[in-house]
Amino acid sequence: MPIKYCNQCGASTVIKIPHGDNLPRAVCEGCGFIQYENPRVIVGCIAEWEDKILLCKRAIEPRLGYWTLPAGFLENNETSQEGALRETLEEANARATIIAPFSLIDIPHINQIYLLYRAQLANASFSTTFESSEVALFNETTLPWDEIAFAAIKKSLEHYFDDKRKDIFTLHVETINVSTQKK
Amino acid sequence: MPIKYCNQCGASTVIKIPHGDNLPRAVCEGCGFIQYENPRVIVGCIAEWEDKILLCKRAIEPRLGYWTLPAGFLENNETSQEGALRETLEEANARATIIAPFSLIDIPHINQIYLLYRAQLANASFSTTFESSEVALFNETTLPWDEIAFAAIKKSLEHYFDDKRKDIFTLHVETINVSTQKK
């Protein structure tokens, strides 16, 4: 949604390049305040229990009815690991501990950057939530590969089971662009 | 700066927890639009040339006169690697290529997350810029350790030279909180 008004004084904004900058920004015609827009970080967990991982079936839009890893926007005043564990609790009622960062995926055309951590579930306790109509453990064979909600999640799951077969987990860094996502 | 007005319609906002959410947000009293505020990503490079790395002396606030790695806010429509290389060009007039992610540092009390890449300078060509009053190559001995601008940069430099001594570079994941930063 393009910015039209100053969120500090309520006057109209114009799109222009501020002095000392090189990109157009929403600048207030009244008080001069600049509203910057930057990519958002999505944090989440690949949470392991025995030989399986936890997935959630989305009960809300976007991608209602598709499966995803517990993940969501990083909030102010939390670390990326705290955010990943919070999303796991909020979306799956599951408690986990972080093992290591697993995937770092830029999606520049929608201004998102995913940071997913491998994590260990504290126990086999999880349940549906406001955001998830089903929560379940899957291995590579049982996972609903054709019903994954988001490209970055599918990429991360593919890398996860590749690594699991080799028994060596590394950080996967990549970019999803418009053409990748259409595949 | 707390949000006071809707940037879509100019009406006043109130801070409240929207339906289906669990955190207070700036919600428009007129059109209902929600302005979310999330952490920003800072991307940059540890750019190597022979046995040295490139640092910039800040010509602008904050921390004017202190040294830093070329780094800045990730912009919309770019990947974190593109952003890291753009900052290296903008702040040091230097071209580089990415080697690997090197440090991932959460700073939750100021809503920032640093993602610094190790990079290789294309050549020994660099110069001062609008943002940098000096640009220079340093090794561990010559580096101005007491004049580093930001805690996340200093941490990353310490890890870099530790790794360099071992000749094994890994990803460093950590958090800087208020008490860490006061050290």
Do the Cβ atoms of B5 and A5 come within 8 Å?
Answer: yes
Name the closest residue on chain A to residue B77, using Cα atoms: A108
Whether residue A54 sits in one domain with residue A9: no
Q: Which pair of tokens denotes residue B161? A: 């030279």
Nearest CA of chain A to the CA of B141: how many Å?
Answer: 31
* Cα–Cα distance measured from residue B45 to residue B56, given in angstroms and rounded to the nearest whole number: 11
Query: Within this chain, do residues A138 and A93 fall inside the same structural domain, yes or no?
Result: yes
Contact B41 A113 (CB under 8 A): yes
What is the pLDDT averaged over residues A106-125? 98
Q: Look at A111 and B36 and tell me if their CB atoms are within 8 Å.
A: no
Provide the residue type at B123 as one letter.
N
What's the Rg (C-alpha) of chain B?
A: 19
Which residues does chain B have within 8 Å of residue A130's beta carbon, measured at their own beta carbons? Answer: 20
By CB neighbour count within 10 A (0-12 exposed, 13-18 middle, 19+ buried), where does B1 fall? Answer: exposed
Same domain, B163 and B114: yes
Residues A6 and A73 in one domain: no
Inform me whether the pLDDT recorded for A117 exceeds 80: yes
A41/B73 touch (CB, cutoff 8 Å), yes or no = no
Same domain (yes/no): A93, A133: yes
> Over 80: is that where the pLDDT of A56 sits?
yes
Specify whether A60 is located in the same domain as A122. Answer: yes
Q: If DSSP states are collapsed to H, E and C, what string results for B32-76?
A: CCEECCCCEEEEEEEEEECCEEEEEEECCCCCCCCEECCEEECCC
> What pLDDT is attached to residue A183?
46
Confidence grade of residue B70 (pLDDT, cut at 50, 70, 90):
very high
DSSP string for A64-118: TT-EE-SEEEPPTTS-HHHHHHHHHHHHH---EEEEEEEEEEEEGGGTEEEEEEE
**What count of CB pairs under 8 Å joins A to B?**
120
Q: CA–CA separation, B56 vs B134, rounded Å?
A: 6
Mean pLDDT of A9-18: 98
What CATH number should be reported for the domain holding residue A18? 2.20.70.10
A chain contacts of residue B76, beta-carbon cutoff 8 Å: 37-39, 108, 111
Q: Considering CB atoms only, which of B5, B77, B104 is closest to A108?
A: B77
What's the structural domain count of chain A? 2
What are the pLDDT digits (tens) for A141-152? 999 999 999 999
Distance CA B118, CA B157 (A): 11
Percent of chain B with pLDDT over 90: 95
B5 to A6: CB separation less than 8 angstroms, yes or no: yes
Q: Which residue has the tokens 């993602």?
A: B115
Average pLDDT, chain A: 96
Average pLDDT over residues A6-14: 98
**Predicted confidence (pLDDT) at residue B180 exceeds the cutoff of 70:** no
| pLDDT of the residue at B31 | 97
Q: Do B38 and A36 touch (CB under 8 A)?
A: no
- Residue A92 near residue A126 (C-beta atoms within 8 A): yes
In this prediction, residues B44-72 reach a mean pLDDT of 98
Residue range B10-22: mean pLDDT, rounded: 95
Residue of B nearest to A175 (CA): B79
Instruction: Find where tokens 């952003």 sit.
Output: B83
- B13, two tokens: 């906002």
pLDDT for residue A20: 84
What pLDDT, on the 0 to 100 scale, is given for residue B183? Answer: 46
Question: Are B71 and B158 in the same domain?
Answer: yes
Average pLDDT over residues A53-71: 97
Q: Are residue A68 and residue A125 in the same domain, yes or no?
A: yes
The mean pLDDT of chain B is 96
Q: State whether B91 and B132 are in the same domain.
A: yes
Question: From B108, which residue of chain A is nearest by alpha-carbon distance?
Answer: A77
CA atoms within 13 A on the CB side of B90: 19
Distance CA B92, CA B119 (A): 14
* Structure tokens, A14: 């114009």
Q: How far is CA A138 from the centre of its chain?
A: 20
**B30 and B45 share one domain:** no
Q: Which residue in chain A is spatially nearest to B10 when comparing CA positions? A: A10
A152-182: pLDDT as tens digits = 999 999 999 999 999 999 999 999 998 765 5
Cα–Cα distance, A176 to A115 (Å, whole number): 13
Would you say residue A102 has pLDDT above 50? Answer: yes
Helices H / strands E in chain A, number of each: 3, 11
Report the Cα A41 to chain-centroid distance in Å.
7
Instruction: Summarize pLDDT for A17-51 with one digit per residue, the tens.
Output: 999 899 999 999 999 999 999 999 999 999 999 99
Q: Enumerate the residues of chain B whose CB falls inside 8 A of the CB of residue A75.
A: 23, 38-39
Query: CB-CB: which of A9, A74, A82 is closest to B38?
Result: A74
Query: What's the DSSP call for residue A174?
Result: E
pLDDT at B178: 85
How far is it, in rounded angstroms, from Cα B99 to Cα B47? 9
One domain, residues B75 and B148: yes
CA dihedral over B133, A38, A111, A149, signed as positive or negative = positive
Coil/strand/helix, residue B135: strand
Separation of alpha carbons A9 and A65, rounded Å: 41
Tell me: do A31 and A44 sit in the same domain. no
d(CA A75, CA A93): 19
Q: What is the structure's pLDDT at A11?
A: 98
The residue range of the domain holding B69 is 40-182
Cβ–Cβ of A37/B76 closer than 8 Å?
yes
Task: List CB contacts (< 8 A) between B80 and chain A.
Answer: 104, 106, 113
Q: CATH no. for residue A65?
A: 3.90.79.10
